Every structure is written in structure tokens, then in C-alpha cells.
Amino acid sequence: MITPGSPTFQQILDECLDKGVLCQITVNLKGELELLLKNYFKDSPFFCQDCKKVTDGEEAVNICEKLHLCYHQINNGKIIFVKMVKEEPVRYYQFYFSATFRNKLRTRNEELIILIISEDGNIVSVDDLSGKNILDNEALEIQDFKTKLKPAVFDELKAIADKKLETILKEKLILFDLPIIREKEAKLRSFDKRIRRDHLEQAINTKYDSDSQEWQTTHENLLKREEEALTTSISVKFINLLVINTAKVTFELNLDNNSTLHSSIIFGINHFPEVICPICRNTFSEGFATHDSVYVCKSCSIQSIDTAKIYSKKAALKLDETLNEYFEPDAGFVCSVCGKKHSRLLEFKCSHDNSSVCIFHYDYCDLCGKIFSKLNLSYTDDFQHQLCPKHAAKDKLKVH
């Protein structure tokens, strides 16, 4: 048996690279693209089999527990048809590394780290054995594929993988050392105290005044050696390479609000199609088909305070400064007193002439208690009461 990562394994790998890659496959879609996409995009409430049911009061809510969400939820719209825009062949390189963390203060930990690199040298994803195996995807057909890979190309990609791996290992080292930081500090303190105590006892017993500079150097070396003994060591082995020949498919989903959802998927690489918000350019897994014919993420959507209709942030809506909420330009009302436009939620009707007034320009008659525009209210001569036109007229008759 040859240990993966050993010089012998590397020599065999170099020879295989010169004659053809050890592991190389081609990935094809088994069924129709439109049928596959129906499993990824849902325009009505949907709960996958792996969802966990949680009760919120009287309502049962399902939460997807998958590492990667199993579908993209479309709200406020329905899929009309799917249009494939482009299909192009692409190649990816999947590097497998085994990393072992050792420290005498805790059990050793061995991890399989998988790096996927595109043909142009970009890191596509990083998985720690928890990612879904490409061979387990029932929608894909996997076939062996033979072609040559130049050693120079392999060396270039391996260098990129090694650089990314270095960053990953630093992060994993922090997590591995986290539970033993205090124990390590305690052992170093205890070791330091023992050295000082032994030195003091030796000085007392022998009545010998040793060179303090020499002792300090010895003391520092002993501490450094003990600290190194408590430092976590990492051994890394490159164990395999899988070359994936697949296809990138760019497509559109046309929705019933006249908007278009743009997306793409790389078979065997993406867990599900990537959707990018046209406004913020972030990827998202739940979106809204808006009334201004755009499909956006939740952060870029606005709900009208008046009609509850959903718009995008680019829509020409009016801002109600009092509520700090938006409403449609053709909705709302104009206050008969201040002349400003407000949401209908802030509208009050004057009991005298049925004019519309905002929350800042209405009040009550002290006698009948009804709502009136401030323009239709008057005060008694002693300014103790404000009266509507009807009671103001009666008060005027009493005075005369």
C-alpha cells in the first residue's frame, strides 16, 4: 500500500499527469432542464422532505435543515415559462487534502478539505466533507473521461490551492486551539513557577550565587521549548485530484408580473442555481416579483403602506415622512390645510365639509366631540373652548 501524499504517490501522480489524469469525469444532465428547474424554483409555499416542522403558536412553520437551501422561493409571482439563454462547456479541478491537527492536550483531529478551482484559477468553493457528493446527484449522469493534463497546468493550479489551503488551515487552527487555550496558559505558568522554585532551592542549598544573565537565558529557552511542546502541529497531505468536465447553463424564468429572473447553474458544481439581485447584486434564495415588473431580493423590496403592494427600491414611490413608509404616487391624499400629500392611514375627514386633513391639522369640537379641520374650528371669547361651526354659531347667538 502506498500512503497518499508520500513521495512515491507524488511520483506516480506526476507520471499519470503526463499520460492522462487519474480521475476525470464528464457530467451531463439526465432529464430535461425545465423539469430540473421546477425542483429548484418554487412559486408557491413548498416544504422539502428534509424540512423540520416548528410550531409558532397555532401556525406550523417548516425550516429547511440542509447545508445548502434546497430551493429558491418566489413570492408574489408565478412562473410562465423557462428560456435557456446559453450553454457552454467548462472544466473544474477538485483538489482533495487531508489535514491532521495534533496537540498533546486534546485528541487529534483529521479533516478532509476539498477545494474546487475553475479553469481560470478562481476558487469556486470549499467543502469539509459535508458537501454533497457529485456522484449522489440523481439528476446527473457521470461518465469517465480521458484526456491529458499538462504538468505545468497542474503545478499552477496546485499553487493556487496551496495558497487558499494555508488560509483555511489558519482558521481551523484557531478553532482547534480554542478549547485548550486556558489549559495551555495554565501549564506554562505552572512550568515557569517550577523552574523558578527549583532555581531558588538550588541557590539556597548550595549558597551559590549563579550568573543571573545566564540563568535568565536558560529560563527563556526552557519556557520556549515547553511552549513549542504545547503548540499544535499540522500535517497536510495532497491525496487526490478530480477533473470535472461539465456545462454552465444560463437561463431565464419569465414571471407573470412581466419581470424576468436571470440565473445560471453549473452541473455538478452548484448545489442549486445562483440568482443575483439586479439592484444590490447580492445572491439570494428568496425573492419578490414586484408591481413595477422587477424581481428583487427582500432587502431591495418596498411594500406600500396604503395598498400592501410590493415594489422595488427603484420604483417612484412617495415617502410619508411621518410614518417613514412609502405609498404609490397616485394613492394617498392631499391635506386641505397644509397642502401636503400623505398616506391614507393619516387621513381624517372633517365633519363639517368632509374635507381631508392630515394628523397634524385636525382636532375635536369641545361640545360635540366630533373631528373637524382646524380651519373649521373657532374659539370662544375667553379661549377656553374650541367649537365647530354649528356650536360656534350657537355661542355667537348667546352672546348677542
The CATH code of the domain that includes 385 is 3.30.40
Classify residue 151: in a domain, yes or no.
Answer: yes
Indicate whether 270 and 295 sit together in one domain.
no
Indicate whether 310 and 360 sit together in one domain.
no
The reply to whether the predicted model has a pTM over 0.95 is no
Number of separate domains in the chain: 3
| Residues 6+ away with beta carbon under 8 Å from 246 | 26, 27, 89, 90, 91, 92, 266, 267, 268, 269
Indicate whether 31 and 121 sit together in one domain.
yes
Indicate whether 304 and 368 sit together in one domain.
no
Classify residue 218: in a domain, yes or no.
Answer: no
Distance CA 53, CA 155 (A): 48
Classify residue 190: in a domain, yes or no.
Answer: no
Residue numbers of the chain with a pLDDT score lower than 50: 1-2, 20-21, 128-131
Classify residue 141: in a domain, yes or no.
Answer: yes
Domain boundary among 327, 343, 358: 327
Q: What is the pLDDT of residue 209?
A: 58
Indicate whether 322 and 341 sit together in one domain.
no
Indicate whether 254 and 312 sit together in one domain.
no
Classify residue 142: in a domain, yes or no.
Answer: yes
Backbone angles phi, psi at 121, to 5 degrees: 90, 15
Question: Maximum distance among all alpha carbons in the chain?
Answer: 121
Indicate whether 292 and 368 sit together in one domain.
no
Q: Which domain holds residue 261?
A: 7-174+236-275
Q: What is the pLDDT of residue 294?
A: 94
Classify residue 205: in a domain, yes or no.
Answer: no
Indicate whether 319 and 385 sit together in one domain.
no
Q: What is the pLDDT of residue 278?
A: 94
Indicate whether 80 and 122 sit together in one domain.
yes
Indicate whether 298 and 170 sit together in one domain.
no
Indicate whether 127 and 269 sit together in one domain.
yes
- Alpha-helix residue ranges (DSSP H) falling in the chain: 7-19, 33-40, 151-177, 181-206, 212-229, 389-399
The DSSP code sequence of 291-320 is TTS-EEEGGGEEE-TTT--EEETTS-PEEE
Classify residue 201: in a domain, yes or no.
Answer: no
Indicate whether 24 and 134 sit together in one domain.
yes
